[in-house]
Amino acid sequence: MDRLWAPWRMAYIGGPRQQGCILCTKPKERNDRANLIIIRGDVCFVMLNAYPYNNGHLMVAPYRHVGDPSRLSYKESSELMRLSILSIELLRRALAPSGFNIGMNIGRVAGAGIADHLHMHVVPRWSGDTNYMPIIADTKVLPEYLDTTYTKLMEYLPSEIKSRLQSP
């Protein structure tokens, strides 16, 4: 039998369960690195997905708890798209993906893990990043720790955007 070792998963499996909406609570805390927040805008923010489909999987969300895109203000919808585009540019510079999947899952039946707080997924893709593991073994292999990906992205983030991030 082959084994895939992922000891970092124990922090998730054995750790305390988060109460409330992480897209509401994480931006209110003052530790963006620990919360994987990459960019803070006026009404939206960008963070690394803690349970990514691929390395560099980002989520762009409004600060306001809203689950339906039709309820976004003009400013929120505009900044959501601008930050999604900035995320693509950042990922291109830092990770050099071959392409992207971008979109939202609206509602639980559509696959939304956080159904009541909409967010745009920006998922970098590389040729050959899909293989038999997710299909046969129901396992996704991620070759890099989140903290390493965070550090790479921060190296390419413009200084005027970095200055808006919060640390303890």
Q: What angle do CA 7, 10, 13 make, to 5 degrees?
A: 145
Q: Which residues contact 156 (CB under 8 A, 6 or more apart)?
A: 90, 93, 94
Own/partner pairs, 158-163, CB within 8 angstroms, 24+ separation: 161/39, 161/40, 161/86
d(CA 124, CA 62): 21
Q: Which of 57, 117, 119, 121 is catalytic?
A: 119
What are the DSSP E strand ranges found in the chain? 37-40, 44-48, 58-62, 99-103, 120-125
119 belongs to the catalytic site: yes
Helical segments of the chain, H only: 10-14, 22-28, 74-95, 132, 146-156, 159-162
Question: What is the distance, to the nearest Å, from the Cα of residue 93 to the centroid of all Cα atoms in its chain?
Answer: 17
Active-site annotation, residues? 119
